[in-house]
Structure 1
Amino acid sequence: MKGKHWFIALAVMFLATGAHAGGKAAVRKQMESSMVFTGMVDIEPDGHVSGYTLDRPGALPPVVQKVMDRATKTWTFEPPKADGKVVRARTAMSVRLVATRNAEDGTFAVRIASANFGRPAKEEFVVGKALTPPRYPKVAAMSHASGTVYVIVRVGRDGRVEDAMAEQVNLTVIDSENGMKRWRETLARAAVEGARSWTFDVPTRGEDVDAPFWLARVPVSFHVNNGPAAYGQWEAYIPGPRESAPWLGGMDASLGSDAVADGGIYPVGNYGPKLLTPLDGA
């Protein structure tokens, strides 16, 4: 019965969101609903997963455990090492579930869309020092054009942002295709302009302590009234295209790019254990 209630609630949410679409059928078809949750995963010396825990499990719908049980049974990581020796490891994880609606029968398919594994120690990666929230563009706020911008910043050795880019913009408003493009550009521009003034404390130890710069992903949310969805709650949105930047040097920064929660700073690069099998356990 709990599962049935979850599907009903999700369907109502989709219908309520689409009710204000004003005939924007093409855009509505792109709609997804998702949530980000966090926890820990236990990796054995041979790379297989022996268990996992979820943060605040009481706040999560039952489908989360169902999907995670299925996926973790098939996950295999590159064997974890410490001081050159293969060891058992417990590592942090951040996972994004996505639910998409089948237009033919109205059912929903739920899958793991992205995930991040591992988290550098505080002294081994940049830490926010002065991250003033970017200003919400007035025209967007007045039009209730809200969403989340995933910003990648390049932090120099002095802790200042040398460059910034909007990697992806997910909107929680429905407009025409041209309108969606305009709102993405508006929010992205505001997020990047704000990010250029940020400062960070740089690493004091670890393998990358002498790096010429560090890359970090920071989600920036622009929301009217209630703000982003609470932990464990589904949020409907229209995913935007993913962009890259020349200064990334051809790096594929897409892995786990949107499996990050608001208010965090997440490393971009070869951090954490490497998953060798399909993310969704297929």
Structure 2
Amino acid sequence: MTRRILLFTLLVLCAFTALAARYDKMSKQVEASMLVTGELVVAPDGAVKSYTLDRAEALPPDTRELLAKLVPHWELDVKKADGSPLQAPAAVKMSVQLLARPIAGVDDQLRVTIGDTAFWDPKAPVDVEAKGELTPPEYPPFAVRSGMSGIVYVVLRLNRDGSIAETHVERVDMTVLSNEKTLRKFSKVLAEAAVGAAKQWTFNIATERLARPEPIGVRVPVEFKFADRDQTPKEKYGRWQAYVPGPYVPIPWENRTADGGDVDGSIGAMVPGQIYSTDAPIKLRGSPAGT
């Protein structure tokens, strides 16, 4: 019974699949997404010794079962802040993007999988932090009137004084369903608004980071969403939302493979509004599904 309730909930979120079917390219991308956060205890060899989920009781049972099946078998590449290997178990924060998508040829079921994962050491020294608050962009009125929402993953290359040297939009994920032309148009509108705000931001850079020669880069996921008067952020945790991932655009100042590969596997799991280093010091070994 619980499983069918979950499937029904997901199907409601994908209620426009009939509409999406009229747009072949878009329908292949339509998914539902959920962001789950928690903490891992990682052994010196990278094996997960234990884990906890934030507000586990608010998560659908099937998602808890999936994580219970996979997370204990994860292995991470984790080092101490000075680059030396771990000598004792360490606590690592995590965020996990869960994805749900209709199974081809099956009307009443969706397949739930793990998409991206992101990890960070809450005790590690901060290399880059904002000077004051990161002033959010104004929600474009045109997008508001059209009911368009999404997340823009903005990457910033910083000057040594913490000002913005270069901006780049790595991906735009829309969180509303429409035809491909409309989504493409509004992803550009949201991206321009996010970049416009980001150009006004400034950062403090740690002396230790300034001593390293490579470019200083950070990611900031910028979310455009409508306030829900009936639900608080706490009540929204553990709920699915529509998800149409956009194309990935490699960071121009970083080395990438000739075919544009080496896509960062943490983007979709990043919490909007947080600052992430493009260095990704903690990474998952292999696939989150264990394959």
Kindly provide the amino acid, as one letter, of the partner of residue 124 in structure 1: V
CA contact (8 A) 1:72 1:281 kept: no
Q: Which residue of 1 aligns with 2:57?
A: 58
CA distance in 2, matches of 1:78, 1:222: 33
Determine which of 219, 237, 244 is the counterpart of 2:243. 237
Distance change >3 Å, CA 19–CA 141, structure 1 → 2: farther
CA distance in 1, matches of 2:196, 2:252: 18
Distance change >3 Å, CA 231–CA 156, structure 1 → 2: farther
Report deviation, 1:80.
Answer: 5.0
Aligned-residue CA RMSD (Å): 2.7
Q: In the alignment, does 2:111 pair up with 1:101?
A: no
Report deviation, 1:102.
Answer: 1.2
SS in 2 for 1:73: helix
Report deviation, 1:138.
Answer: 2.2
Kindly provide the amino acid, as one letter, of the partner of residue 182 in structure 1: K
CA distance in 2, matches of 1:22, 1:104: 13
Report deviation, 1:71.
Answer: 1.2
CA contact (8 A) 2:3 2:62 kept: yes
Which string of whole-angstrom CA distances, capped at 9 and with x for unpartnered residues, describes residues 102-153 of structure 1? 1311311111111012236474221222411112222222211211111111
Report sequence identity in percent. 35
CA contact (8 A) 1:80 1:89 kept: no
Q: In the alignment, does 2:33 pair up with 1:34?
A: yes
TM-score of the aligned structures, taking structure 2 as reference length: 0.85
Q: Which residue of 2 aligns with 1:279?
A: 288
Report deviation, 1:253.
Answer: 5.5
Report deviation, 1:78.
Answer: 3.8
Kindly provide the amino acid, as one letter, of the partner of residue 285 in structure 2: L
CA distance in 1, matches of 2:70, 2:216: 32
CA distance in 2, matches of 1:4, 1:137: 38
Distance change >3 Å, CA 14–CA 44, structure 1 → 2: same
Which string of whole-angstrom CA distances, capped at 9 and with x for unpartnered residues, describes residues 52-83 of structure 1? 01112122222232111221233223475675
SS in 1 for 2:236: coil
Report deviation, 1:276.
Answer: 2.3
Report deviation, 1:233.
Answer: 1.1
Q: In the alignment, does 2:276 pair up with 1:266?
A: yes
Q: In the alignment, does 2:220 pair up with 1:218?
A: yes
Distance change >3 Å, CA 4–CA 85, structure 1 → 2: closer
CA distance in 1, matches of 2:3, 2:206: 45
**Worse overlay, 45-54 or 242-251:** 242-251
Q: Which residue of 1 aligns with 2:113?
A: 111
Q: Which residue of 2 aligns with 1:182?
A: 185
SS in 2 for 1:277: coil
**Worse overlay, 68-77 or 6-15:** 68-77
Q: In the alignment, does 2:119 pair up with 1:133?
A: no
SS in 2 for 1:247: coil
Q: Which residue of 1 aligns with 2:152?
A: 149
Distance change >3 Å, CA 119–CA 276, structure 1 → 2: same
SS in 2 for 1:65: helix
Kindly provide the amino acid, as one letter, of the partner of residue 169 in structure 2: A
CA distance in 2, matches of 1:47, 1:119: 14
Distance change >3 Å, CA 90–CA 139, structure 1 → 2: same
CA distance in 2, matches of 1:78, 1:225: 38
Report deviation, 1:85.
Answer: 5.5
Kindly provide the amino acid, as one letter, of the partner of residue 130 in structure 2: G
CA distance in 1, matches of 2:139, 2:219: 19
SS in 1 for 2:253: helix
CA distance in 1, matches of 2:21, 2:227: 22
Q: In the alignment, does 2:208 pair up with 1:202?
A: no
SS in 2 for 1:93: strand
Distance change >3 Å, CA 254–CA 102, structure 1 → 2: same
Determine which of 222, 246, 257 is the counterpart of 2:252. 246
TM-score of the aligned structures, taking structure 1 as reference length: 0.87
Q: Which residue of 2 aligns with 1:4?
A: 4
CA distance in 1, matches of 2:165, 2:121: 23
Report deviation, 1:190.
Answer: 1.4
Report deviation, 1:96.
Answer: 0.5
Which string of whole-angstrom CA distances, capped at 9 and with x for unpartnered residues, describes residues 217-264 of structure 1? 111112234399932111112111011232224384512011111221
